[in-house]
Chains A and B, each alone.
Chain A
Amino acid sequence: MRDGLPVVSGQVPDDQVPVAGGQVPGAGGQVPVDADGVTRRNTLKLLGLAPLAAALGWSNGGIERATAYVAALDGAAEDEAAAVLKFFTAKEWPTVRMLADYIIPRDARSGSATDAKAPEFIDFMMMDETTSDTSRVAMRGGLAWLDNESRARFGKRFIAASDAQRRQILDDIAWPKKARPEMGAGVAFFTRFRDAVASAFYSSAEGWKDLKYVGNTFNPNWNGCPKPALDKLGVSYEEFDASLAAHRKS
């Protein structure tokens, strides 16, 4: 009977448990895997392993439903909304894009903020039902502040200034604790804008890969964290179990 099988303690020998990405788990039930190793398609493969899943307590009906479910989500993920500006003006848009890429540039591991369409997402969310008029004014005003500051210093708008000139302004507003008090408005704007870019970039598929996030899967054989992660923090399951046992005795 399925109901009688403990799942968490792992009745299936470790060396018979395939995990997403085709890797073999270590003592902790899992090994660290690269983000690229765990895809949703691979999750489907895992779910296809019916006999194993049944041993773990999954009925065939459950596996079929789960497989269909993940397949449907894969389709949804590809259905990205087309970019039509909702909030930013044509004049603001190049500044928004440029500023976003100053914050998160392209490097060897991943693309830039504009590669991940972060500006499009920020534009979309500016008109969301949960965004206040105060936030909209702060965004529009912050972009204007940037141009005002650039004109005051260099006689031209932010996008027309040189890279070195732009960085001079950014250096003054990107570190709140070090910033001069007269830069307060710029600091407040940049802090919010940086958060918006981070939110947009790291909530994208590109951002997930960059962070090596490997969750959000059906993972019935999850059994704690792998040894390298435990060792890094200087903790172990043996120590945990021993501590609980000692307290129960006392």
Chain B
Amino acid sequence: MQVKPRTSEYDVCIVGSGAGGGMAAYALTQAGAKVVMLEAGPAWYASKNSQMLMPAYASPRRGAAKKTRPFGEFDACDGGWDIEGEPYTSAPGSKFLWWRGRMLGGRTNHWGRISLRFGPDDFKGKTAFGNGFDWPITYDDVAPYYDKVDDLIGVFGSNEGLRNHPDGRFQPPPRPRCYELLVKKTSDKLGITCIPSRLSIITKGIHGRQPCHYCGQCNRGCTVKANFSSPDVLIAPALQTGKLTLITNAMAREVTVGTDGKATGVSYIDKRTGADEHVKARVVVLAASACESARILLNSKSSKFPQGLGNSSGRVGKGLTDTTGTDVAGFIPAMVDHVPHNEDGVGGMHVYMPWWLDNSKLDFPRGYHIEVWGGMGQPGYGTLGGIQRYPGGGGYGQSLKDDYRKYWGTTIGFSGRGEMLPNDDSYCELDPTMVDKWGIPVLRFHWKWSDNEYNQVKHMQNTFRELIAAMGGEVFSPMPTKEQGYGISQGGQIIHELGCVQMGSSANDSVLNSNCQAHDCPNLFVTDGGPFVTQADKNPTWTILALAWRTSDFITQQRKAGAI
């Protein structure tokens, strides 16, 4: 029996306002649905609240990190791996770091705007390589939505015809910085593919947004909306339809279920008053982030769903992955005594290296892409630290001051970002004893890298060292040993956690079907990183956006058909 609405029932309740929640709110309100959105943090719009163009010296802290802004006080994103009052635990022998963005727009305020499509092989890894997993959908299923996301949000790049790095509907990319040309030239010598990067920063004005003015500070949020963030690009237009009700400081606790097993709405805590509140909705969309959505489902226990909602397969929390990462930087003598010029560009690299090798000749499956950084960034807190690593070896006085001038901006660094294969030892579950300050049971993480990832990261290290050597440079740090994991990041450190609410073709071994609809609950959907079956050697946001739009269109069709 369906629970009938009495007061202010919404068509859809969306939990979370980042890429997945913002996209769902945009698409569903455009389709005419009456939507309520719950966000655990306060309202925040880069167009109003950004610290863009604040010189480091205008702050007493010169841009140093804060507890709530681990990437520097000017960084847009209020959040971190440690949030007061909202703990999580790691099982003995495991260590996992869980980043949460607690603000309108979530992590879209934080990310590097690297906007890469997953390729055909990324959706069919098992078929293509004989290991890992296949998604229940193909690149062709998602491609029309990638196109729509490109057009709505805007992304610059270049069409290169690389098979597993699909082209897009790109705006013109900015020219590389001079040191990036050196990286390209060196990559050519070493046979490494190096192409213009693909970032969701607009170089031509679209939809009332200004084009980039090249201040290089995308991470602070853009006052003219030249880069993508969910609040300015998706939520603001959704609010303009008059169909969206936004409730901030709302910490979702549980999806409520009727006697018929269908979702009836979401219970949440008003963080300002501590009051327990509830919104009723005909459809519930979770977009709270992969692990937070899993946590909400596991906490949504009822007599009908004693293991938590959508968890009859026992798969909620399973299939947790993060991107592998390691960094190497070096001093490049050719860059000594720079020619003063404005090198800011966009807030990110202008070139990058997509995966270029054949794994059949390597001791690890799957690849990585390489991100490039260096040069003359805005001098702020920590500038010119570690001068003893340069040829002068340290010192003091006039010779040191001359060295600082000589060596400023002479670093080039490479960051590898690679695909991890899901494994049975990496997952999250409810901690049996701990609750957060709102009384909500917290997550406990289990985490393990396998030799797949260690060998891949070792390859990154060797490649980056080769690149720096080929530029005539000197690497700052010795090659990390096997015991040091070859310098691999900790689980969760790259902030690309995916899975935990995975889609699949069978209700026995997945939580969602190929439309991101819960097998166990037809009016429950997930539009964040949770549905991902696998990682790829690409950042996940563009795929989160495309899948969220695709899922929203499915919800609209189902509502029209009267199915949900």
A175 to B342, CA, bound (A): 33
Give B434-464 as 1s and 0s: 1 = Cβ < 8 Å from A's Cβ atoms. Answer: 0000000000000000000000000000000
Size bracket of the A interface: 35 or more
B395 smallest CB distance to A (angstroms)? 5
Chain A residue nearest in CB terms to B63: A203
A108 to B274, CA, bound (A): 61
Which residues in B have their C-beta under 8 angstroms from that of A70? 53
Q: Which of A77, A195, A214 contacts B342 (CB 8 A)?
A: A214
Cβ–Cβ contact B342 & A219, under 8 A: yes
Residue of A nearest to B350 (CB): A224
B181 within 8 A of A: yes
The reply on B278 being an interface residue by CB < 8 A is no
Q: Is the CB of B224 within 8 A of A224?
A: no
B189 to chain A minimum Cβ distance, whole angstroms, is 11
Once bound together, how far apart are the Cα atoms of A5 and B202, in whole Å? 12
Residue A185, interface by CB 8 Å: no
Known pairs A174-B396, A175-B394, A208-B55; A3 contacts B224 (CB<8 A): no
Q: Which chain A residue shows the least CB distance to B402?
A: A107
Please give the distance in Å from A45's CB to the nearest CB on chain B.
Answer: 15
Tell whether B176 is near chain A: CB-to-CB under 8 Å. yes
Q: Are B383 and A202 in contact (CB under 8 A)?
A: yes
Q: Which of B40-86 contact A (CB under 8 A)?
A: 52-58, 60-67
A177 and B387 CA atoms in complex are apart in Å by 12
Complex interface: chain A residues within 8 A of B195 (CB) = 244
Closest residue of chain B to A176 (Cβ to Cβ) is B388
A229 touches B204 (CB 8 A): no
Number of residue pairs spanning A and B whose beta carbons lie under 8 angstroms apart = 264
Number of chain B residues whose Cβ lies closer than 8 Å to a Cβ of chain A: 82
Convert B382-404 into 0s and 1s, putting 1 for each residue whose CB lies closer than 8 angstroms to a CB of A. Answer: 11111110000111111011001
Bound Cα distance A46, B387 (Å):
36
Q: In the assembly, what is the distance between CA of A202 and CA of B206, in Å?
A: 38
Segment with Cβ contacts to A, from B117-125, B208-216, B488-496, B536-544: B208-216
Which residue, A62, A66, A236, has most C-beta atoms of chain B within 10 A? A62
Smallest distance from the beta carbon of A46 to chain B beta carbons, Å?
Answer: 10
Interface pair B161/A248, CB less than 8 Å apart: yes
A160 located at the interface, meaning its Cβ lies under 8 Å from any Cβ of chain B in the complex: no
The answer on a CB contact under 8 Å between B57 and A205 is yes
Contact (Cβ within 8 A) A128 B210: no
- B residues 362-409 near A (Cβ < 8 Å) are 376-388, 393-398, 400-401, 404-405, 408
Q: Are A213 and B376 in contact (CB under 8 A)?
A: yes
What does the 1/0 interface line of A47-81 toward B look like (CB < 8 Å)? 00000000011110010011001100100110011
Q: In the complex, what residues of B have CB within 8 A of residue A77's CB?
A: 55, 57-58
**In the complex, which residues of chain A have a beta carbon less than 8 angstroms from the beta carbon of B182?**
233-235
For A236, list chain B residues within 8 Å (CB).
Answer: 181
B174 within 8 A of A: yes
Contact of A198 among B52, B184, B196, B383 (CB under 8 A): B383
Most buried by B among A216, A223, A229: A216
Residue of chain A at shortest CB distance from B217 = A216
Does B55 contact A243, Cβ atoms closer than 8 Å? no
Interface residues of B in 468-509 (CB under 8 A from A): none
Answer whether A232 and B224 are a contact pair too, CB < 8 Å, given A73-B58, A199-B62, A224-B177.
Answer: no
B328-356 vs A, CB cutoff 8 Å, 1 = contact: the mask equals 00000011001111111100000000000
- Residue in B closest to A206 when the chains form the complex, CB atoms: B57
Q: In the complex, identify which listed stretch (A31-39, A89-97, A132-140, A144-152) lies at the interface while the others stay far away.
A: A31-39
Q: Is the CB of A216 within 8 A of B215?
A: yes
CA distance A3 to B378 in the complex (A): 30
Q: By the criterion CB–CB under 8 Å, are A107 and B401 in contact?
A: yes
Contact between B379 and A211 (Cβ–Cβ < 8 Å)?
yes
Contact of B334 with A233 in the complex, beta carbons under 8 Å:
yes
Give the distance to chain B from A135, nearest Cβ to Cβ, in Å. Answer: 13
User: What is the CB-to-nearest-CB distance from A42 to chain B, in angstroms, rounded to a whole number?
Assistant: 12
A218 touches B213 (CB 8 A): yes
- Interface code B168-182, partner A: CB below 8 Å = 1, 0 otherwise? 000011111111011
9 A-B pairs with least C-beta separation = A224-B175, A222-B214, A235-B181, A212-B340, A225-B178, A215-B344, A77-B58, A203-B62, A229-B339
- 24 A–B pairs (Cβ distance < 8 Å), ordered by A: A7-B212, A9-B172, A58-B211, A59-B210, A69-B223, A73-B55, A77-B57, A103-B397, A105-B397, A194-B388, A195-B382, A203-B379, A207-B383, A208-B379, A211-B379, A218-B213, A219-B213, A219-B214, A222-B214, A223-B174, A226-B341, A229-B178, A235-B182, A248-B160
